[in-house]
Structure formats: C-alpha cells, structure tokens
A and B are shown apart, each in its own frame.
Chain A
Amino acid sequence: MDDLTAVRELEADVGPLTDEARSAARVRLQHAITHEDRPGALSRRLMLRVAVAGTAAAAVAGGVVVATRRGGDTDAPRMTALSAAQLLHKAADRSRSDTARTPVPRNDQYVYTRTRITRTYVKGGKTKTWTDESWQSVDGSGPSRREEYGRIHNDPPLGEHEVRWPPTEYAELAKWPTDPDTLLDLLRMHTPGADKEAFVNACQFFVVPRIMPPGLEAATFEAVAKIPGIRIDHRAVDALGRRGIAVSYPKIDFAFIFDPKTCAYLGMRSKGSTADLVDGKFVYHDWYHEVHGLEELGVVDRIGQHP
C-alpha cells in the first residue's frame, strides 16, 4: 500500500464531534464575540472551566439563559430540517399533552409571572440580564404591579372604557375558538390577508403571559403554522449562544422560541434598539436581541404573594 494512503487510513474511525462539545465550543466563540472590546474579560482558564461544566453552565458563559417552563430537555441531538409549520404542530401537540396546568384564575386574582430577560447587543458589549416579577390583575379590575427591566410600575385598574386585547381575563379567553382556522380569522381581526397582524396578535398572547384555557395555546401555534411566510430560524437563535429554534415573520421583531428537541415553547425573542428623535425623525442605534424566558407562571390572591 502507498505510504500516504496508509497514513490516511490511520485513526480514520476517530469519534465525531459531540453535540455537547459543539455547543460548548460555540459558546466559547460567542463569549469571545460578545466580550471582544471589553477590558478585563474573563480569563481563558475560567472560561474553559465554565464551558466544560455542561450545557447549562455553558449557556451562562454565552450570556444567554432561557428558562424552560416545562423542563424542556436541552440535551438535543443535532437538528434535522424541520419546517416552521411542522415545528409549530409539534409544539401544539406538546402543549395539549401538558397536563400540569395552572389553576383557573378568578377575576379577583392575580397572574404571577417571573420572566428572565437576556439582552445581547448586536455590536458586542456586555450582555444584560433582568429577572422581572409581575402581578397582573386577571381582568384588570384591580391594580397591577409589573416589573420591566428591573423597574417597577404600579398600574391602576383599567378605566371604564379600557380593555385588553387579546384579553387576559380567563373567562374571556375561554370564549376564544380552539379551532386553528377560526382562531386565525380572529387573529386576523376578520381581515383576509392580514397575516402580519395575525402573527403580531399571536405574539401578544405570550409577550404578556397569561393563563390560557386548555387548547388555546396549542390552537395559537397551529394558527401561526397556517400563516404564509412564517420562517424557521435556527441560526439567529444559535447566534445567541443557546439552543432553540425560532419561528418568525418577515420584518416583525418578535419570534417564538422552541426547544429543538421537545418542541416545548421556551419564550419570546425580540429585537430592539434605542431611538433618538433627531430633526423630527427617529434614529435607531444600539440594536440588541432579547430573549424573554418565562420561569414561572402561577395564580395568587394578592400582589406580592408567590405561588
């Protein structure tokens, strides 16, 4: 045998790159990207230690953590090509099979949420995180306390002519259709072709978390699956150093994030910027990505109480 061929055959059966190692390496790269211009960045040794500590810790090193509301398994195999609609249908199935539901809230109760927000600036710089706790009056008849980016806002009860749409009141939501076609028509506000609006309305259900009656969350995912033009986005989520698949719509800043393996809904991704008013026009700068992961959702009797 030719000596070069013989060398080529040596060690040819070496083990492949594991998903865990790929993920850890990707996180290290993302860490380097995010901390490029930052003096006093973590030492390499420390980074290495964090990176090998496993997927959960690896995500911290990358600066992005998403709480998996239903304990979604992050030890996923490499993703196979999945269309956005297929993914949404799986998410819907999972939502339906999720039996551990929160209790049905009464109108005089509060929906408690704890949300973890991670903001990563597009041009690098320090990743910011917040853990916000909010208590929303179920029907808006009572005051609400809402924390956004660590700042607490005390909202008065809704006024006589104020309503929330889509509703947060459980009794109202229970009237919503759980058939995806009918729901989509409602999300389109009965305007055929209002796909963008329908997508945004579907996002609204999750941007402000609420207790959904059985089947409504699943129907929402299935309705979104019917919107032409939805996109599946593996890469953009990867760019945050975390595993997940996003379902987005062109030119809309919000996207749903799902666990790549279990297809469980994980949270919302959004894109934003700081806007300055210059000569009567908005000038956008400091673009960032945010991931909002719902860590806890529950029903309590008063503001300040934990489920």
Chain B
Amino acid sequence: MTALPSIGDRPALGSYDDSLSDASVVERSWNDPDAFAVLFNRYADDIHRYAARRLGTEVADDLMAETFVIAFQQRRRYDLSRPHARPWLYGIVTNLVGQHRRAEARRLKALARVATTSPAEGEPLADRVAARVSAENSRGQLVGALAGLPARHRDVLLLIAWGDLDYAEAAEALGVPVGTVRSRLHRARTKLRAALGGSDPTALHEETEETEETEQTEETEETEETDRG
C-alpha cells in the first residue's frame, strides 16, 4: 500500500507579510525568486491602468506582463535604498510604451477626432449644450496637443498625471535629474495651455522660475538625445 510521504515539522515556506517594503521584497527575491510575485500583486493593476491609458487595454495586457518579467530579470540591479518600487516599474513600462510610439500617435489622433466631433447628447438647457460642446472641443484640442508633444515631454507629463508619480519619482523612473523632469513638464504644460487657448498666469510664473534654474540640464540632455537619434 502506498506509504504516506513524510509529514514533518519543517518550517513553512516563506509567506510574505504585506508590511514588507518593496525593497525588502526585491531583496528577498534575490534568493527566493517566488517572493517577487508580491510586487506583481501590489502593482499589476496600477501598471496596467497606466499602460492602458496610453495604448489601450489590449496592448496594456501584454506590456504589463512584460514589465514584471523585465523587472524580475533586472531585480538584482534594483537600488535597495529606494523603499518604493513604483517608480522603477513605471520606468520600465514607460520604456516599453516607447516601443509603440506610432500606435500611441494613432490612438491619440483617433481620440482627438472622437472628442471634437462627438455630438452633445440631449440636454434640456441650451447653455449646458454649449458648455458640453465647448468641453468636448477643448478635450479634442488637449489630446491633439498631447499627440504633438515630444515623446520625452509626454512621458514626464503622463507619469505625473496618469501614473501619480511626484517629480522625484518621475525622475527616478526615467533616470533623469529632477530638474529635467521639471523643465520637461513645464514645456509640456505650456503647449497644452496654448492649445486650450488660455493660461493660468500664476502657474506659469511659478514654473518659469523652475525652468530657469534647470535650463542647463535640459540643454545638455537635448543634445544627447539628438546624438542618439
């Protein structure tokens, strides 16, 4: 008769406490690769949502999966002094989005068209209709402006607007100095405001200062990118 395989008092395999920081999870995964799944559980939805907003859910399904595979393969290069892995993962997925620039441009153009031409649904009050039409139009213009941004400016803008990263995190994600993030964001927003046909003088003023202080960085970087291209 079948002997029952041994049942012993051996320590249970690692179950990872939710309280562990991302960095601790990554460090554990160096020796216990299965631990890496914890990061998947924590961030799969966020990464997917960000990718889906940029490229649609279908492509996002693939990019999200690819992001975690790449992250896993690069986990030994993770800087353990950074407790949160979100910027790192967003950096990876943003790079992957970069491989789909044409698809993104197509998507944005299509969105812009839809927004501009979409008819206002039956609203009882004439002024509401007017407001709706105006909102749709400006949304179309906004998307159009988004499509017209240089990719590196759009990456910064969308990491912050859609990925909810702060300046420092966006810098970490893209591997650029914080000053570069600030100046790219400023440039992107200036173009968006121009497209929307208005401007917020306060915001403009506030960010002009930031631009000046970081102009040097941006210039250096632009040169680099030209070389690469």
Task: Flag if B1 contacts A158 (CB, 8 Å).
Answer: yes
Range for the number of chain B residues in contact with chain A: 35 or more
Task: Flag if B61 contacts A25 (CB, 8 Å).
Answer: yes
Chain B residue with the shortest CB-CB distance to A20? B61
Please, how many residues of chain A have a CB less than 8 angstroms from a CB on the other chain? Answer: 59
Interface residues of A in 46-101 (CB under 8 A from B): 48, 51-52
Residue picked from A12, A26, A273, most chain B C-beta under 10 Å: A26
Would you give the shortest CB distance from A226 to chain B, in whole angstroms?
20
A144 to B3, CA, bound (A): 13
Task: Flag if B64 contacts A17 (CB, 8 Å).
Answer: yes
Q: A-facing mask of B32-71, CB < 8 A → 1, else 0?
A: 1110110011001100110011001100111011101100
Whether A148 contacts B2 in the complex (CB less than 8 A), given A36-B33, A238-B37, A250-B12, comes out as yes
Whether A251 contacts B68 in the complex (CB less than 8 A), given A3-B192, A25-B44, comes out as no
A164 to B2, CA, bound (A): 10
Whether A236 contacts B15 in the complex (CB less than 8 A), given A29-B69, A207-B2, comes out as yes
Chain A residue with the shortest CB-CB distance to B68? A29
A278 to B37, CA, bound (A): 34
Interface residues of B in 56-106 (CB under 8 A from A): 56-57, 60-62, 64-66, 68-69, 72-73
Task: Flag if A17 contacts B200 (CB, 8 Å).
Answer: no
Would you give the shortest CB distance from B155 to chain A, in whole angstroms?
13
Task: Flag if A3 contacts B142 (CB, 8 Å).
Answer: yes
Flag whether A118 is at the interface (Cβ < 8 A). no
Whether A25 contacts B64 in the complex (CB less than 8 A), given A7-B146, A16-B49, A122-B34, comes out as yes
A25 to B109, CA, bound (A): 29
A146 to B3, CA, bound (A): 11
Would you give the shortest CB distance from B201 to chain A, in whole angstroms?
12
Would you give the shortest CB distance from A108 to chain B, in whole angstroms?
17
Flag whether B193 is at the interface (Cβ < 8 A). yes
Task: Flag if B53 contacts A3 (CB, 8 Å).
Answer: no
A299 to B161, CA, bound (A): 63
Q: B-facing mask of A12-24, CB < 8 A → 1, else 0?
A: 1011111001101
Contacts of B157 in A (CB 8 A): 7
A162 to B73, CA, bound (A): 54
Chain A residue with the shortest CB-CB distance to B164? A8
A239 to B15, CA, bound (A): 10
Task: Flag if A253 contacts B44 (CB, 8 Å).
Answer: no
Would you give the shortest CB distance from B27 to chain A, in whole angstroms?
16
Flag whether A124 is at the interface (Cβ < 8 A). yes
A272 to B160, CA, bound (A): 47
Q: Which of A24, A250, A254, A284 contacts B65 (CB 8 A)?
A: A24
Flag whether A286 is at the interface (Cβ < 8 A). no
Partner-B contacts on A (CB < 8 A): 2-4, 6-8, 10-12, 14-18, 21-22, 24-26, 28-30, 32-33, 36, 48, 51-52, 122-124, 140, 144, 146, 148, 155, 158, 162, 164, 200, 204, 207-208, 235-236, 238-239, 250-254, 270-273, 284, 287, 289
